[in-house]
Structure 1
């Protein structure tokens, strides 16, 4: 299955979903993002439930040799939407809210670091491995803090995570999903907008525990091949290699899986973390822990 716009087609697995407006009222605004194009969309509640529509020109989705507008496809295959307060809108337009208030976020899960030499408003290290970025800092920092057999740069449309670390021994396989986000301002603070998207990324990443580790490794393998094809002479493997990933894939079904989640947002200040930020983090933490049973760490500024 693939999506095409302006004569550039991409498989649906390479199409990302980016929220463009975090306002508490009005239509939901987001974009479909591919490696070569972006299409703005909106979603509004009607008598027929939540209805998705393109803001301008639409893409075409090819399914079993039949082309149809992307709006038709997404209205037939609605995604789960995650809102503040740990609320979830299901594909059948049912809004689920927690029966009880979430406990306050455990501030001990905040891990302040200094971000020396980092422009906290620059997120992606790109294939050139730009050293002043949030992603590059986390790559070097985590590599020094723990061992990875494989560490992959998966940054891009519909990513599993910005960085994915894999460690395997005779009994266990541990996947570390690192979700990085730039700061909206040059100085750390208590802005809720700095956490909306990265908390959503962490929630989406947790779903891989349900899909299965083998499916996750297969997806990473295929995405790494495409990453290398888009960037001749570069490698998505920051540590390890495609051969090592293949060897781990071969025995993954015999290993006990673990998924750990990391959020990296230097725009968040641990010293002034607001109640609104704590509430958002508490929702992400509750959801991720329920699915993965793994660790949940937030790297931020002091």
Structure 2
């Protein structure tokens, strides 16, 4: 089962805001594009969408025996524009490749090789799963939206997470190209502590043990490219996105100010990152977490820990 598609690590490190993605006369920074798996399936084509605030385009992998996979547009194609010229997005993706993470720790790297560690699967400990009080929350409603709906999962999560520590910044970054649904930041001595929370709605009105509720949110958690693992890139990107929101008369800031966020971004290169990723899925009843769900969470936990030195929190229903 494919979980996540993202840029190769080395490409993210060299991206700048000047590299734009254009389609239908609307341009956006390439860094702010988002890859979304089209279908969580074990057969059929490996397809995905490229999503920006202005449009969505479909693509799929075409595998071949004599080289890396081709990545082809299934409808309209985007255009990557730089100071040196322009090229189609499909050609750009084929040239640079993409990373695809599957369940069971299987990874398709940009050269077209499948990598699979030879080890037993790890079950995430049931006792490590946290729970929130979801009373009054519609667990099928994920985002709080512009009206900051108090019955949403995101709104309740912001309230609970904000109370856990003296966070300097709490920001709703929900949207295409997001760092996470909720980002919380504080400076502690010489460290920068960051919590990246990914919320996911439940497919049913009552908690249970549905693995389909986890494929997407685990994929979001695994999409931890260098922009999210390097404090300077992460904070600068958050600052730019917030300034763009404020220029449109909106804000994602729930705690703190753009001036505080700018100060954190300036200092970030001199601080050590301590990052935690949270998966928030009230559709899971902790006592009924199946081995398949715990294996998926265990693989996510191991990926984040071994690749980035990040901790994982899982938050469900009691």
Under a length normalisation based on structure 1, what TM-score does the superposition of the two structures give? 0.93
1:147-168 deviation per Cα after TM superposition (whole angstroms, max 9, x unaligned): 2111111111121111111010
Does 1:270 find its partner at 2:286?
Answer: yes
Could you tell which deviates more after superposition, 201-210 or 264-273? 201-210
The 2-side partners of 1:254 and 1:70 are apart by 35
Identify which of 18, 35, 45 aligns with 1:17.
35
Aligned equivalents of 1:116, 1:186: Cα separation in 2: 12
| Root-mean-square deviation (Å) | 1.7
Q: Which whole-Å CA distance do the structure 2 matches of 1:85 and 1:277 have between them?
A: 11
Deviation string 1:14-38 (CA, Å, 9 cap, x unpaired) is 2111112011112112111110111
Q: Which moved more, 1:65-74 or 1:12-21?
A: 65-74
Aligned length: 299
Q: Distance in 1 between matches of 2:89 and 2:225?
A: 26
Whether 1:241 and 2:257 are equivalent positions in the alignment is: yes
1:219 matched to which residue of 2?
237
SS of 2:193's partner is strand
Conserved 8 A contact 1:4-1:59: yes
Q: Please say if residues 258 and 292 of structure 1, whose CA atoms lie closer than 8 Å, have aligned partners that are also in contact.
A: no
Partner residue of 2:80? 61
Structure 2: gaps of 5 or more residues? 1-18
Unaligned runs of 5+ in 1: none
Residues 53 and 252 of structure 1: CA distance in aligned 2, closer, same or farther (over 3 Å): same
1:32 aligns with 2:50: yes
Cα deviations by residue, 1:197-255 (Å, 9 ceiling, x for unpaired): 11111112374564x2111111111111122234x1x3211101111112222322332
Distance in 2 (CA, whole Å) between partners of 1:219 and 1:152 is 13
Counterpart Cα distance in 2 of 1:76 and 1:88:
18
Question: Does structure 2 retain, via aligned residues, the 8 Å contact 1:109–1:296?
Answer: no
Residues 31 and 209 of structure 1: CA distance in aligned 2, closer, same or farther (over 3 Å): closer
Q: Alpha carbons of 1:250 and 1:5: their partners in 2 closer, same or farther (altered >3 Å)?
A: closer
